[in-house]
Chains A and B, each alone.
Chain A
């Protein structure tokens, strides 16, 4: 039971990461390899603001979200614009451009953080004192920071899903991810939508980094693991499918905890990759994805 609840809690943070990645894949059909670095920057922003400015943590979380939005929109503005034009020099190598540019961005942000902050982990304060525990029922005991972070994460996740589902902006995002060209004929500014999507994804990844910061500590390479997990999730749930990635996140969160406890702790990350390759080979559309002709 303890393992299961830990899995659900981790699953929520994975879902926050995977949702952004999935939205980006939906609207642009690219994989953002720099997603883990959004997480890393969120963690750093949380730790540094909370330690240096000493403002209430709610405002810190808000400013992290703000920084995430700015980061996402800037990345889209500076680097993603050529995706909408037709390439001449590289032929039709649009996917390849996106892979290299996001991969390069990931390396850049990682090493820039290493250069500026050094390789030492910086830990932020917990939302509640980190030692404090809460009993759930009779046997399960959790640190209260984890519970509150889980609450905040789940709340934001639900709000984000509702926004994507029902708000006018969300409808626009859905339209673009269904058919970019058709949406632009219907009068939707698809470039702007990409900006919004990148902003949302940056905000979600940054928030998840901020919430996990007291547990994992901010360090330059902290983003690699969550990023890889969100790739696995997004593939598992079907590329670009929002419900698929949420379900995939919880599945992975729970499986991983059980695997780490019952199978092998050292190989637990390797299992994730094995899942990724197997899903890509056997069921490339994932759990909920639509079947596309070209994979």
Chain B
């Protein structure tokens, strides 16, 4: 009797620690976003504001991919393609039917979620290399269709799109819009990962057979993860196209997908704050490196290889280990 009570209190304590550790993720990511929020006070150049907006776009896409790749264990190589779909579905509506950009962004969310649901349903039976190949093929088909439909999308020339806040406004408006969206997505994902759904997704990553044996509806939650992840990528794409004012098929290049995946991997896969940190640090870094005449992708892909090979926890993963040791173990 006594021992069972002990066990119960022990479990309670364990749960509490797990909850606190998970909250650490959220607190850390909100703090880094706070740093981003007050950064414009010190950093007044419009160029760097623009760089940080793009960094937040990449971070958002990496967060979306991390839900699928990091938490659910489904390695899709199509995040860039979903950004592309998001960009074009808003761009086409705004360009041809003069829709409000806000409505356009909403439609890009809807369309990417639908297509993500469809792709997730197609990819249900596939895993590992087969899944990667299918998503690569999907990404290239999307890019090919958009590139070669000259009459509608103007192909490689790109489609010019009105900006979200008119043309005369500086970058700071976009800066805080992106920041707000990232904060909302991050808080939403925190509660999602904390809930039962998050546990379902992680159990699918760890062992699919065992998960279905314990009554997790693997089919449904995999499709759900696909849809939600592509929704976030589509949201990022929709916002981005109304920031740069040009939709071009270049976003769908495999290299861009590699960039997004690389940010999630270098930041730390399967952690809430990892892709955020990765995006926010790596994109400005690559802009900085460019000034020295080095191709940023060289450094970037080298980092991917080194991190995956030798340092699998990533930037935030190792930082988290240190923080946890400091906070929970004295």
A: residues with CB less than 8 A from B are 25, 29-31, 33, 78-79, 82, 89-93, 95-101, 103-105, 107-108, 110-112, 114-115, 224, 228, 231, 235, 239, 266-267, 269-270, 273-274, 276-277, 280-281, 284, 294-295
Complex contact A95–B128 (CB within 8 A) = yes
Question: Which residues on B sit within 8 Å (CB–CB) of A91?
Answer: 205-207
Output the least CB separation between A5 and chain B (Å).
27
Q: Does B265 contact A (CB under 8 A)?
A: yes
Closest to A33 in B: B132
Question: Which residues on A sit within 8 Å (CB–CB) of B298?
Answer: 108, 111-112, 114-115
Closest to A105 in B: B305
Q: 8 extra interchain contacts, Cβ-Cβ under 8 A, other than A101-B305, A273-B140, A280-B126?
A: A31-B129, A90-B312, A97-B308, A101-B309, A111-B301, A115-B294, A270-B145, A273-B138
Complex contact B207–A92 (CB within 8 A) = yes
Complex contact B261–A100 (CB within 8 A) = yes
User: In the bound complex, what is the Cα–Cα distance between A33 and B305 (angstroms)?
Assistant: 13
Q: Does B91 contact A (CB under 8 A)?
A: no
Q: Does B211 contact A (CB under 8 A)?
A: no
Complex contact A95–B129 (CB within 8 A) = yes
Given the known interface contacts A92-B207, A267-B148, A269-B140, the answer about A98 and B129 at a Cβ–Cβ threshold of 8 Å is yes
Complex contact A111–B295 (CB within 8 A) = yes
Near A by CB (< 8 A), chain B positions 100-115 give none
Output the least CB separation between A109 and chain B (Å).
8
Output the least CB separation between A284 and chain B (Å).
7
> Shortest 8 CB-CB distances between A and B: which pairs?
A95-B128, A104-B304, A107-B301, A108-B301, A273-B137, A111-B297, A31-B129, A270-B144
Complex contact B302–A270 (CB within 8 A) = no
Complex contact B75–A89 (CB within 8 A) = no
Number of A-B contacts (CB under 8 A): 125
Main secondary structure, interface of A, reads helix
User: In the bound complex, what is the Cα–Cα distance between A160 and B145 (angstroms)?
Assistant: 38
Question: Which residues on A sit within 8 Å (CB–CB) of B308?
Answer: 97, 100-101, 104
Q: Does B127 contact A (CB under 8 A)?
A: yes
Output the least CB separation between B64 and chain A (Å).
17
User: In the bound complex, what is the Cα–Cα distance between A99 and B261 (angstroms)?
Assistant: 11
Given the known interface contacts A79-B305, A99-B129, A107-B304, the answer about A276 and B261 at a Cβ–Cβ threshold of 8 Å is no
Q: Does B133 contact A (CB under 8 A)?
A: yes
Output the least CB separation between B124 and chain A (Å).
10
Question: Which residues on A sit within 8 Å (CB–CB) of B75?
Answer: 95-96, 99-100
Q: Does B73 contact A (CB under 8 A)?
A: yes
Output the least CB separation between B14 and chain A (Å).
20
Complex contact B265–A100 (CB within 8 A) = yes
B: residues with CB less than 8 A from A are 69, 73, 75, 77, 122, 125-130, 132-134, 136-138, 140-141, 144-145, 148, 205-207, 254-255, 258, 261-262, 265, 294-295, 297-298, 300-302, 304-305, 308-309, 312-313
Complex contact B313–A89 (CB within 8 A) = yes
Closest to A90 in B: B312
Output the least CB separation between B36 and chain A (Å).
27
Output the least CB separation between B257 and chain A (Å).
9
Complex contact A89–B312 (CB within 8 A) = yes
Complex contact A104–B205 (CB within 8 A) = no
Quick one: which of B129, B134, B297 contacts A277, CB cutoff 8 A?
A: B134
Pairs A–B under 8 Å by Cβ, sample size 11: A25-B129, A79-B305, A100-B308, A103-B132, A104-B262, A114-B295, A115-B294, A273-B144, A274-B137, A277-B141, A281-B122
Complex contact B140–A295 (CB within 8 A) = no
Complex contact B128–A96 (CB within 8 A) = yes
User: In the bound complex, what is the Cα–Cα distance between A16 and B148 (angstroms)?
Assistant: 30
User: In the bound complex, what is the Cα–Cα distance between A186 and B251 (angstroms)?
Assistant: 50
Quick one: which of A96, A231, A273 contacts B73, CB cutoff 8 A?
A: A96
Output the least CB separation between A204 and chain B (Å).
20
Complex contact A107–B141 (CB within 8 A) = no
Output the least CB separation between A165 and chain B (Å).
25
User: In the bound complex, what is the Cα–Cα distance between A96 and B300 (angstroms)?
Assistant: 19
Question: Which residues on A sit within 8 Å (CB–CB) of B126?
Answer: 280, 284, 295
